[in-house]
Amino acid sequence: DAKTTQPNSMESNEEEPVHLPCNHSTISGTDYIHWYRQLPSQGPEYVIHGLTSNVNNRMASLAIAEDRKSSTLILHRATLRDAAVYYCILREYNAGNMLTFGGGTRLMVKP
């Protein structure tokens, strides 16, 4: 899997939007962009994924740059429960392969 770069940590205030960036300048045409998060003492949890178009689901939105070299995970209203480590991962379609976790971004949410 191609490499991704994320800030080590970010802070947000409760009930404000959060934009978590991810750079993946070496992404290939068949790589999907996946986001997972890991809450303290829990296993990773799938958040969202996309290929080229922006994606929305009940948890978050994913904005993908036109050149696909970067993406942004958007939490529309952060809650204390969103405090977690967020991982941006590239995954080749239909490879059935493992997820390669980097260091992720530790999101802290202040009340």
CB of 46 to another protein, least distance (A): 4
Identify which of residues 46 and 54 has a Cβ nearer to another protein in the complex: 46
> Given the complex with another protein, which of 29 and 111 has the nearer CB atom?
29
**C-alpha pair distances (Å), 49 with each of 27, 54, 73:** 14, 9, 10
Q: How far is the CB of 97 from another protein (least distance, A)?
A: 7
Residue 42, both tokens: 């829990």
Antiparallel, parallel or unpaired: β 55-56 and 45-50: unpaired
* Cβ distance to another protein smaller for residue 16 or 99: 99
- Residue 105 C-beta: closest distance to another protein, Å: 12
Instruction: State in angstroms the smallest separation of the CB of 9 from another protein.
Output: 14
Residues of the shown chain interacting with another protein in the complex, contacts defined by CB under 8 A: 32, 34, 38, 41-46, 49, 91, 93-104
Helix (H, G, I), strand (E, B) or coil at 29: coil
Dig out the tokens for 76 from the structure. Answer: 């529309």
Neighbours of 47 (CB within 10 A): 20
